[in-house]
């Protein structure tokens, strides 16, 4: 084996220096410059002169590269730091905007709370007004009912005769007495009678209204009780005219009661077998032996329809 430096043969018994660097060469100790001084100084030498120079060059290059990298990093840092003032301004602007938005939000929340309070008060007010309206409506209905009952009460001594042909120059009182004689009832308590004014455009004759004296309530009731005796009696039998319509004696109902009776017959026909009037009350009954129902308003008709 020869020395990597001097190329002379290495003594097998001699002490040699083995480089642990890239060359991995073996040298005479004297061929490695500075080795004796390092050994004397107690330094542990592991590289030959060539590898040591390469290592120093490499370290130098690495230091240079690191230096350049540091310079570049410094430039980048300086560049980024130079942007900080503008960023700080932007952040201040954003902060001001956020404060403004926060104030507006607080105002909106406060306004919303005030609006909720007002809405709650309005809802309570509306509820109170609705309750008052319902109460007033009920009072109004009750008053209308009382007025209607009063109006109907003023007719308690009256009857209405329907189907009698109107003959020119007729004597209404005599016509009424003739009808009374057929029914075998007294006509002495009749105060007065006349044809009813009507706007009816049909060919049906106007009905005859009969008023009994206040002392003649029993007579009026007997007329209504005996009206079945008029079954088969026509207008011609009374007036000797041409009209063959049947004659009916009815209670004198108010306009609203007549309308209610007409609607009851129209809507409840086929459901209730009996629909009649007694003492100005409209009564219905499904069958013989059943309990009768009193119809006071349209709502009663609707209620009976729902129960069918």
Average pLDDT, the chain: 87
Q: What is the pLDDT of residues 88-144, one digit of tens each?
A: 888 989 999 999 999 999 999 999 999 999 999 999 999 999 999 999 999 998 898
For residue 57, pLDDT beyond 70 = no
pLDDT of residue 130: 95
Q: What is the pLDDT of residues 222-261, one digit of tens each?
A: 999 999 999 989 999 999 888 899 999 999 999 999 999 9
Q: What is the pTM of this model?
A: 0.56
* Nearest in space to 256 (alpha carbons), one of 133, 165, 141, 162: 141
For residue 200, pLDDT beyond 60 = no
Under the banding of pLDDT at 50, 70 and 90, the label for residue 45 is confident
Mean pLDDT value across residues 24-44? 79
pLDDT of residue 80: 81
Contact 257, 298 (CB under 8 A): no
CATH topology of domain 156-252: Alpha-Beta Plaits (3.30.70)
- The full set of domain ranges for the chain reads 75-153, 156-252, 254-308
pLDDT of residue 77: 85
């Amino acid at each position: 084996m020869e020395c990597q430096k001097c190329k002379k043969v290495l003594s097998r018994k001699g002490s040699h220096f083995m480089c642990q660097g890239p060359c991995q060469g073996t040298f005479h100790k004297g061929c490695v410059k500075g080795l004796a001084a390092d050994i004397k100084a107690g330094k542990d030498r592991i590289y030959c002169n060539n590898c040591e120079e390469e290592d120093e060059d490499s370290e130098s290059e690495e230091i240079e590269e690191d230096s350049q990298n540091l310079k570049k990093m410094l430039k980048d840092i300086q560049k980024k730091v130079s942007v900080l003032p503008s960023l700080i301004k932007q952040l201040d602007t954003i902060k001001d905007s956020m404060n403004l938005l926060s104030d507006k939000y607080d105002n909106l929340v406060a306004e919303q709370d005030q609006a909720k309070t007002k809405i709650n008060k309005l809802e309570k007010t509306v509820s109170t007004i609705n309750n008052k309206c319902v109460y007033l409506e009920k009072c109004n209905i009750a008053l209308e009912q009382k007025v209607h009952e009063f109006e109907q009460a003023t007719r308690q001594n009256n009857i209405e005769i329907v189907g009698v042909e109107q003959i020119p120059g007729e004597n209404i009182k005599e016509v009424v007495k003739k009808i009374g004689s057929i029914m075998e009832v007294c006509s002495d308590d009749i105060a007065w009678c006349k044809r009813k004014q009507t706007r009816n455009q049909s060919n049906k004759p106007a009905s005859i209204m009969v008023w009994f004296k206040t002392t003649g309530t029993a007579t009026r009731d007997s007329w209504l009780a005996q009206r079945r005796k008029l079954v088969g009696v026509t207008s011609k039998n009374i007036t000797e005219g041409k009209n063959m319509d049947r004659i009916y004696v009815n209670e004198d109902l108010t306009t609203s009661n007549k309308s209610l009776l007409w609607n009851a017959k129209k809507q409840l026909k086929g459901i209730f077998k009996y629909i009649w009037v007694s003492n100005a009350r409209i009564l219905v009954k499904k069958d013989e032996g059943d309990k009768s129902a009193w119809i006071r308003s349209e709502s009663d008709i609707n209620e009976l329809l729902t129960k069918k």
